[in-house]
Structure 1
Amino acid sequence: MYGQVLGGTIVRTYDTSSNTRRGIQPPKKPINIHCVTNLTTYHRQYTTCYWDEAGDSPDTRYSVTMKQDNRTRGHCESQPGQNHCRLSEYADTFSDNMMVTMTAANSAGNVSATVHFDPWKIAKFDPPRSIQVEPLPTSLSVDWEKTDCPRYHEKCEVQCVEEGTNVTIVSNKTSPQRKRTIYVDDVKPCTNYTVAVRCTCSTSLWSDWSARSTVLSALNVSSVPFYLWRRVLERYENGTRRVQLMWKGSFCNLPIEYKLSVDSRNVGLDCTSVLLDGKAHEIEIAAYNNSKMLRHSFLKIPVIGKDMPPVRTPLATSRNGLIYISWEAPPTPVNDYVIDWLTDATQEALPSWERTQETNISFPGLSHRLYTVTITPLYEEGPGQERILHTYAEEGAPAKVRRVSVTKADSTWLTVDWEWVGPDQCCGFVVNYTVFYRDSNGPELNVTVNHPSHQVTLRELQPGTAYKVHVRTHSAAGFNDSDLFHFSTEAYGKAFIQNLVSGVGGVILLLLTAVCFFMLWRRAMNLMVPNPQLSSMAVWSPEKSLKPSFSKNLDVDNSHCETILLCRVDGETDAERCSTPSPTGDWTGDYSAGSGTAEYTGLALSCVISETQNKSLEADRADRRQPSRASPTPCSPYLDQGQHCKHRSDPYLDQGPVCSCGDLLDEPQGPGISEERDSVMESSQQKASPPCPTAMSYVRVDKLDGQIED
């Protein structure tokens, strides 16, 4: 059976510590504990201990106890917030050991830390006194009184700081003498230096720096850097060049007279800009004091076209107001490098410059000022090719675009071009350009292009619309906007005009093609009509009828002939027919039987009489000579009805039917028959006829446009 609790008491416990309620924690051990024993002649010697707090405990107090040789020699307590305290007694520097116990305590508890020291290693002497500095031709002599170092291992340092720079020269020397002296070398002539001294005794701590003394270094003529340099201002097409001469050298306050010469010819100092031709030259500058030459310097100018190689990979950067220039040496050995820089690139500006053998240099620069830096290697033969850099000590907003124009335009796009901002324009390097554009109602749009691009095409625009455009330049430090420009798109684009011209041209071409095909069709469908004005006639015998021999007056090669119309001649004998002259009387020669040739020109109408037609000649002759004639009947199916087979001015346009070839040689039967022809024919009957073959053939030769028919 289990027991049961019928009643009881609940006991609660609480921490009544106020520190716990406030959240205060016990302190932690201090760190970096160290002590210093000041050994001074004019003041009481003392030992001070220092430490760093390990935690955040504002009400913690620290106490320090120093023991030597198993006895307490000093004790001190710090005030709240202090991290050091001075012991009541100083440490014995001749003792072998020193123990320092530090206790940190607050309302929540305490903690202690113990450190051991060598008393001599924490000893610190007073700084040297009575510092004296004397300038020498090549150095500075620094003297001071001996310190209270009890041992013979005193070591001192001299610090020389060049005025206006951070260049520091530190020299040290150990000497057992009562009066100490150190010589500081490598000082610049005619330069102000601030000098201070500190010392240590064997392994003791370094003393503080002594009071500082300022001195002007002496002039050492042999060590004075005296250099001559030139800056090319202009180069001309004929090979001449204008150079600006400059030199540098400090001779303190001595009165110095300079003499400048080019190729041993004196040049006045009132104008340091000289004009040199393309040949090699040697320039000399000399410094005189009381007619005594102190220093001189030479500079060789190489001939045009014989340029030595430049430096490689030049680079310019800036940081904290300083400009850093660096480069790589060229493959050819170099004596020195000359770096010149200026903020005004005009010819009148005189640049700052330095001559060095290093491959880097730095100099202070002004904010928002563009520096043009030139790096030139100096060879034995003279200066090499230059490399030019542009840089800023502190970059600002870039220059703004001055000119914006439209080079091409269409109905839906514009090509915008602007004058790009070069690296020599202040006050920042352009990274990119942003073109903003908008119409009167739409939103503002933009397009960005990287430098050095200075053109962009704005697309998807409205035809015949005015747009407002401005260009913004961006640099690493800011931006700058150009003025506002107004441009408009074309109402009708080139594509529309081209399509319109192409359509009109296609219609015209189609019409011309149709006309050409129609003319070709008409020409193919219509028969060729001979021209009577271009016809002529010849007579030949039947033996020659297949191959007629034309008169020399008949141009066969260049003529065209029509098919011969065969007719029969009624009532005419061969003698009468052959003796009948040409209606126009233009026979040019005789013909004989069997020859079948005759020469005749000028008649556009002719007949061919075959041998089968001779049978009816006698019967037709009587009828042909009667006063009245019967109505003609057609003798050829090729003659149209209602036209006459008579000679007319245009017989082929108005021909009448004939019944026989006798009608062609008889009286007129219709209009258009010449009376002159009848009279000629009647008179020819009374003339003697030449011998004639039993049958003769007549041929009509007509000039056509493409063929000869007989």
Structure 2
Amino acid sequence: MAKLRTRWLLSILLVNLKNCSAPGPPAAPSRPYCFIPCGERNNCVDIHCSWDTRPDPLTPTNYSLHWEPANTEEGHVINGTSESGIIHREHFSHGELHVWVQAKNQHGSTRSQKAVFHTEDIMKPSPPNVSSSSLESLEIDWISSCDELQPCDVRHRHQAEQHWIEAKDVLHGSYAVDSPKPCTLYQFQVRCSCAKSLRSDWSATHTILSTETALVGALDVWLDCGISHTNSDCVLTWKKLPPSQACGVFLGYEVLLSFSDGVTEWVNMSSTEPAGLLVCEEMQCYFNRSLKLVASVSVAAFNADSSTEPSHLTLTATGKERNDQPIQLQMTEESLNVSWDGGPSLRSEDLKEYVVQYKQAGSLLGRRFHWLRVNTSQTTATFTGEYKKYTPYQVSLFSVSHTREVHHLSSLIGYSVQGTPSTVPALKVSSIGSSHVILFWEPVPLSGQNGLILYYQVIVDSGKKQNVYNVSASPQHQNTTYELQHLSPEQDYEVRVRAVTAAGPGPNATAEFRTSHGEYFAFLLPAVLGILSVVVLCAAAALYCALCEENKACPLFFWEKVPDASNSQILKHMKNQINDPLAWISIPVYEPHPKISLLEVLEAPPSAPSSSPRRTSDPDGSTRPLVRDSPTEDQREDAVSGESHRTDRRYGREEYSKMLDSDEERDREDGWSSTEEEQSPSGYEKHFMPTAYEVQVV
């Protein structure tokens, strides 16, 4: 039983769903609204009808306008649009008409209710012309197209309001607003009817400014200093007065410039003058003049009746960015929210307010620049507008003291939507070593960043392996250097550098280089040269000693004790040979006629045997000097050879004080006593020191 009931309910539901979803005739249109528009010359001719419809977007529907006189069944029809139709004058006669609209599609047709009217009652005059009557009383007048005065409707509102205040059936052709607000814009509209005709359309909006009064308030004055925040680059700018404050016909601005040297200057600018010192846009104006050497400014607006209070601003304290108050940004394409932490360091008694500003980076000074003043108790500011994609906006936070000094606290670049950056410019490789190089590149320009650069990515590819390094982004105005280490000597590398934002990395900037040979060559070359120098010097010394051994003429500067060469002709000759690097190698020591000494031998008295010169006796008992002849060449060679074979105890050579010339050797052989030899001076003194006798003779 339950199953039969369930099947029955389901069948009914399916039938209803089928009927609901089945297509049918269109919805019926509304009753048509018809009138005969009359122009300024009362040329009332055709009937204009309109209606409302609810068409089915999936099924095409055709609409037709039907009418017939009240006293006959003869009807007329025309095809109209979906919303209106026109019955021309030749198709109807004056009197009562019945008018309706029919809608038809492929599934059927429907019709609207009939509109029944007399053709004289649907005359619709043209709107009246409205003019001002008195500014003091805020009164208007109008002129109707009717032949005689007929009742009219009047409505008015403030320009900033949306709702109208309406007065009906005004008969005297004028209207005045009671107790209007001063310096307020009012809008008026009027519509009238003629005899039994319809009401006309509303007239065009007529605007009137109420009575002028003194200007209220002061201008909001600020500085657009771009990115540099230096006074010499700043532009003075201010917001226009709102309508509630700019009462009357606005005439212009007055600017007072106070220079650092105490000089002041007044500048008067008319609001109607062509673009010059004063440049105004929709909501703001700026002073198109340099502020170099300007210490403070004062700006006021004026009209024919009065001027606003001067707005003062000190320019000398824009200062350096303290960066002790970082800001946070939340930015979309429709809004910009700025927040900061109002710490106790800023909430001093001298703090008057915060100023938050933003500017499209790269735009001209004074353009695309906005700011808000924020109470000291608040730490957020919100801007609304249209913020372009991939476009940098510089947001800055300032503090203003009661003495009107301005301090720049912090700045930040923000983007509504971020994109990938452009290519890194000017990538170079320098200081190439065997295991390291230095990379250099310039930061991506602000116009090509398309987003906040998080870091730069360095990719080093040697063909065998690839290394990736992330380098923090430097400040915008600083170049970046990075040293690659732990490279292989004599290896080819390719390095790629790209900037990375939140949207991803940009295109690569590529450079190639080859590392130099190993650093051990730099130490090996001096060592090899040093060893070769020592070998050459040793070989030269050995060759030199061999020549000395062969020629028996080795110079005496190898000896520990070297006598004065000026006292020996042999040594002088050897010195000359040493100074000539070729002569001492190839020419033996040779003195053609050496004469070593000329000695006078005297009999030594018994009392002073050691100090008397030696003499010889002739057979007759007289004395004569003993003159030694020069030794022969063989004797010289024997003497030199004999001296060279003597050795010193320390250096393998004998002390020079014991060296004797060849003629002294012969004196010993001739019988000089050993007693006299022991009492005589040393060998050095014999050769080079004068005797006591020679000193007395001189």
* TM-score interval (norm. to shorter): 0.3 to 0.5
Q: Which structure's residues are more often helix, by fraction?
A: 2
Q: TM-score, normalised by structure 1?
A: 0.42
Which structure has the greater CA radius of gyration?
1
